[in-house]
Structure 1
Amino acid sequence: MRHYMHIDENKLEEVFFLKPSFFNSKTEKNSLRFALGATLYMPGTKYIAPYLLEKRYSHLTSYTMCFEDSIREKDLEIAERTVLNTLRTLKMAEDENRIDLDELPLFFIRVRNPEQFENFFNKLKNEHYLLNYISGFVFPKFSTLNAHKYISILEEVNTYNNSIYGMPILESSEIILIEKRNEELLNLKALLSEKKDLILNIRVGGTDLSSIFGLRRSVAMSIYDLGVVASGLYNIINVFSDLAINDVAISGVVWEYFNSKFKNSFEDDYSKRNLNFNEEKILARTPLTNNPALDGLIREVILDKSNGFVGKTVIHPAQTSIVNAMYCVTLEEYVDAKFILDNFNNGGVYKSTSNNKMNEISPHYNWAKKIMDLASIYGVLNSNYSYLDLF
């Protein structure tokens, strides 16, 4: 699997200064944690196997089949059977040499709660070879009340396959309400730090956190405009900063908006090439396209990146290419980051090669490390190209 599989090799050579690297579920964790990009959530009742075998979603690099909020409780048994049948179909296709496992997107399963996780895993035990097609499990409403149970089941899963990760979702009231927040986050940090080898990504449930206050952002706003929710997001980044730098990624919240024109916001490559991707104008809410849902997503991803999030939950296939493109590294970022790392032993402050900023070696070191990690996974754009060329 590689980001931008929809772009042919000749075009990749043209667009990229440094091409994105390949990855799969066995990729070293420090790289894999950043590789998820846009993670598409789908209801567990959807039989996804034909889409995967036909490579219908060429932009897709990670997806989650959901047993929780996206389905009705009475449909849980149907969802479990459907996901198991998807996994069986993938195995059969691999056995018949119709697919290459390394070319499949990363497959995650969002369980309903610890009890359902345990019950579903007991079903998987009977066909434990199906775990080869799963990259991890997503834990909703993750809190100190259920964290130990989730983790203990995950540890048992790894006795059958030792490369299955957990992705907790921080979305419960204990995470956001001010009287409980700090104690809850610090306790979760202690637990996740101890089990960090099992945790690939920390996800944040922006919709659930907003609902606690009866809030919902409009298409003209970002999650960071909802101050009471944004304050919780900032606390999460603050508390988990050590883990985020060295061990896990923290992904951005879902963007809820799309419309019938979302898939065809650009008429062709020419129309994209004639747009000027100007970050300052986008942040100032100057329209980039004639599609407010698309402009809003682009603006929120810029803010996600600025605040330390990597990747994003998405609920529409057309959103995947946009989010993944936005995590590609610009040539200016790459040159600055490489210079900082190359001169780490020297220290000091230097004018950037682009002659528009200072590069202070020690304070910018963690930023530079992250940029180089992202450059390996998402590639580095040539100077005369922009994110728009990857949509």
Structure 2
Amino acid sequence: MAVMNEPGSEGEVLLREGGVTYTCVKDLGLDAQGGHLLLARRTSGGTDELRLLTHLSFPEDVAPSPEQIRARRRLEESVRLATFLRHPAIARVYGLHAVPGALYVEQEYVRGLSLDDLVTVALSRGRAFPEPFLVHVGLQVAEALAAAHACRDERGTPLGLLHRHLHPCLIHVEPGGAVKVLDFGLAGARLPGAVDAPAPPRGALFFCAPEALFLEGVDARADLFSLGAVLLELATGRNLYSRPDVLESRLRRRLKKQERARIAKGLTAAAAAGLSTATYPQVALQAATFQPGDVERLAAELSPPLRGVLARLLRRDPEARHATAEALAADLRALREEQGPYTNADAAEAVRRALSGAGRRLVDSELGSELRDALAPDEVSTGR
């Protein structure tokens, strides 16, 4: 095996393993967890595929701390568990490559646009995506969550897989209209030195269920809350935890003694995990005080059936949400039945129309160029 000491530049070999070579195509920078993302070309027996590699350094010349050892073991276990996931709406995790001083996590490279990109497009054109598109996205993600939550190992033992940090950047709509969820099982297990109960990455704070935000015990219903928050933002351009129309002083008056203690405990944990103590208190205050009426106001322009689904997902009490992802999927299937057939091709066409209707400023921007590139034909051969 050959490996570069640091993530390579375009055309450099990152590693070789048996008859497989991974060559750097593009340096994608750091992800929200501090891992170094690389778009790589996997070459084996004359076949090329694009893969996403996350490079994590574990220097050999420094004795690892107990926290680093624990973090590495958790990462290795998370990757092992994630390899059991087999669902068309979940990006594959292929495995872990250990090299001197570093690890590479190998994942499927997903083309297309993230929901974060699509929110930007919708805001630029001043028009939301049609509700059938929202249901299309929500249903595919709900089915992916249901499959993951029910996943078992080769012995039939439930794995207890949760995503934990679902947010718009980790849900992509592919050029053909299919939906993919990224980073399943990996979001909380990457950083050397991370603690056993990982805090949400900075970008995911605004989509966390309250119990996850306060680093309390979570189950599958936390993922459902996150999906609800993502769909709300995609549908309206608004975020439940970022409501400039609500005065902070008014929210503080809503706080009860128990909620104040919850925020204080969460703030201490967030600071210990290295999260921004400037952002966390604002988000925590919103999470501890929002009410069903706040969700109703944010979703007021949506149809009553879709508004009802979001209202149930976005409840502070997990007991008031859908019990399972399959129950949510059943509600979304019923809603799709009411709306009429909607295919991947319909979703792809909705994205193309949205891009064509986006403002000139967006089209001419760096993001606009990236959006066009994401929908361009894949130039990498997978069968020659």
TM-score normalised by length of structure 1: 0.25
Report 1 or 2 for greater relative contact order, CA contacts < 8 Å, sequence distance ≥ 6.
Answer: 1
TM-score normalised by length of structure 2: 0.26
Which structure is higher in helix share? 1
